[in-house]
Amino acid sequence: MRPGYGMFQQQTTRMQITPQLRKAITILKLTTPELLEVIQQEVTENPVLEIAENKSDAYNFTPTFFRGAKSTDPNNDNDPLLYIASNEVSLERHLKEQLGFIKKIPPLIRHTVSFMIGNLDHNGFLRSTLPEISEVCKIELAQVERALRILQSLEPRGIGARDLRECLLLQVQALADSFPLVSLLIKKHLNDIANYHIHKLTMLLHVSTQEIQAAIDVIKGLNPRPGAAFHIETVHYIIPEVSIEKAGEQFVVLLHQAASSRLSVSGYYERMAAEHSDNNELSKFLSGKLHAAKFFLKCLEQRRRTIFQVTQAIVEEQSDFFWHGNAHLKPMTLKQIAVKLGVHESTVSRATAGKYAQTPWGIYELKYFFPSGLRMDIGESASSEHVKSRIKTWISEENPRKPYSDQKLSDFMKKEGISISRRTITKYREELGISSSVRRKRI
């Protein structure tokens, strides 16, 4: 056949994503806070949708699709978020309140201290130089230094420091006991302390290892970021999609009520559409809005059903976790749950991403129940969470004078039938926030 151009008829089958399917997929991906925003937007744009005005609905769970499960009291109007304490005192306000109690300060110096307070970063450090402050405030350098001393006398100690060394020294000077060795280490050997060069310091300073260790313990008790406690950040609340609770000899899945259970189609507009069927313009408008509202409710119900089915499958596959805790979490993939439910793997991914479950062991993202695994000698797999749990246990029980090295922990794993390299042990240990054996060693 010679190549060439032409017009041919050909039948093919291919999947196209309709706007309705795209909307259903988008709703499934939404987290609970995002879903609540979408619901509010739909109610605003579509007058035939009604939303229940009940504060407790957003935090109730319902055993929809699961027989014999327990539900919370619907008459309970207590909003748990109302009882969470908030930090409303900023560092600037805290320091200026203290400054107001200090008498006999010349107005120009008081103004300079206030200027310095306003130029502290969120850790409490003064990043502007004294000559810069002198130029801006139109004050002599000696007066700026006096203002700095006043600032550095305020609480918390370490405020107004220009670097880490000065911050730590200010805190040491405020301690009741005198620590000359601590001050010396901070001034000249901070890097050696960070690298835990104890033997080098003992030979250099002609002191015992016990004295060096005691000084390091004092330094560890200091705060390198004294202003961070006053740094106000937006609190992001987690609203669990599901609650997994023990009921007798099994666990049940309770669904969140913040979505479709709070929405309904207005009966008033349905009656209006039926009564004015002869009005083409009004009937067309109401029919379109009613169809959109019913489809939206259908998407919400499908989302709830999918999340419930995925969660129920997770509970069945990870039953050891729910009975015994994190150490018993086993490796699992999205594909396993997808095959179990007869859905596509991407559906499981969307149903678990950003969705949280309240369990007897705490609140976890549903993605947490899909850990990677390590092959054991007996043919089974151990999850990374199990390995981390064992590392944490061994380190908590170690002799502080002879802490376990990462290679030693790797050898322990091999004795339990888990082949894991030293490098992987190091990775897991760092993820747990545990220091190396050199830094954990006590003399």
DSSP labels, 369-411: G---EEEBTTS-EEEHHHHHHHHHHHHHTSBTTBPPPHHHHHH
d(CA 73, CA 77): 9
Judge whether 241 and 308 are in contact, CB under 8 Å: no
Q: Which of 6-10, 132-136, 258-262 is the least confident region?
A: 258-262
Question: Mean pLDDT throughout 390-403?
Answer: 84
**Parallel, antiparallel or unpaired: strands 61-62 and 49-51:** unpaired
Question: Mean pLDDT throughout 375-401?
Answer: 73
**Parallel, antiparallel or unpaired: strands 362-365 and 373-375:** unpaired
d(CA 24, CA 35): 12
> Tell me, what's the pLDDT at 105?
87
> Tell me, what's the pLDDT at 181?
87
Question: Mean pLDDT throughout 22-43?
Answer: 85
The 3-state DSSP class for residue 402 equals strand
* CA 81 centroid distance within chain: 17
- For the record, the structure tokens of 296 come out as 């939206």
Burial of residue 212 (CB within 10 Å: 0-12, 13-18, 19+) is: buried
Q: At what angle do helices 280-317 and 267-275 cross, to 10 degrees?
A: 140
Question: Mean pLDDT throughout 173-187?
Answer: 83
Across 23-77, the runs of DSSP E, i.e. the strands, are 49-51, 61-62
Q: Which domains can be identified in the chain, with CATH numbers?
A: 19-58+239-364 (no CATH), 91-230 (no CATH), 373-440 (1.10.10.60)
Confidence of residue 260 (pLDDT cuts 50, 70, 90): very low
Q: Looking at the predicted structure, is the pLDDT value of residue 414 above 50? A: yes
- Amino acid at the residue 421: S
Q: What are phi and psi of 364, to 5 degrees?
A: -130, 145
Judge whether 152 and 117 are in contact, CB under 8 Å: no
Q: Looking at the predicted structure, is the pLDDT value of residue 57 above 50? A: no
Question: Mean pLDDT throughout 33-51?
Answer: 85
Residue with tokens 């000559």: 131
288-329 pLDDT, tens digit each: 888 888 888 888 888 989 999 999 999 998 888 888 887 788
Judge whether 365 and 238 are in contact, CB under 8 Å: no
**Parallel, antiparallel or unpaired: strands 362-365 and 356-359:** antiparallel
Judge whether 136 and 115 are in contact, CB under 8 Å: yes
Q: Give percent of the chain with pLDDT exceeding 70.
A: 83
> Tell me, what's the pLDDT at 233?
62
Judge whether 74 and 56 are in contact, CB under 8 Å: yes
* CA nearest neighbour of 272 among 283, 281, 280, 261: 283
Average pLDDT score, the chain: 80
Question: Mean pLDDT throughout 76-104?
Answer: 70
pTM value > 0.75: no
Q: Looking at the predicted structure, is the pLDDT value of residue 441 above 70? A: yes
327-371 pLDDT, tens digit each: 788 888 888 899 999 989 999 999 998 889 999 988 989 988 887
Confidence of residue 4 (pLDDT cuts 50, 70, 90): low
Confidence of residue 259 (pLDDT cuts 50, 70, 90): very low
Q: Looking at the predicted structure, is the pLDDT value of residue 397 above 80? A: yes
Q: Looking at the predicted structure, is the pLDDT value of residue 40 above 80? A: yes
80-92 pLDDT, tens digit each: 544 445 556 788 8
d(CA 253, CA 249): 14
Q: Looking at the predicted structure, is the pLDDT value of residue 187 above 80? A: yes
Q: Looking at the predicted structure, is the pLDDT value of residue 54 above 70? A: no
* CA nearest neighbour of 232 among 123, 88, 96, 83: 88
**Parallel, antiparallel or unpaired: strands 373-375 and 250-256:** unpaired
Contacts of 348 (CB under 8 A, 6+ apart): 310, 334, 337, 338, 341
d(CA 62, CA 74): 10
d(CA 426, CA 273): 67
198-215 pLDDT, tens digit each: 888 888 888 888 888 888
Between 378 and 44, name the one with better pLDDT: 44
Q: How many CB atoms lie within 10 A of CB 39?
A: 21
Question: Mean pLDDT throughout 180-187?
Answer: 87
Which DSSP helix (H) or strand (E) runs through 251? strand 250-256
* CA 443 centroid distance within chain: 36
Q: Give percent of the chain with pLDDT exceeding 90.
A: 9
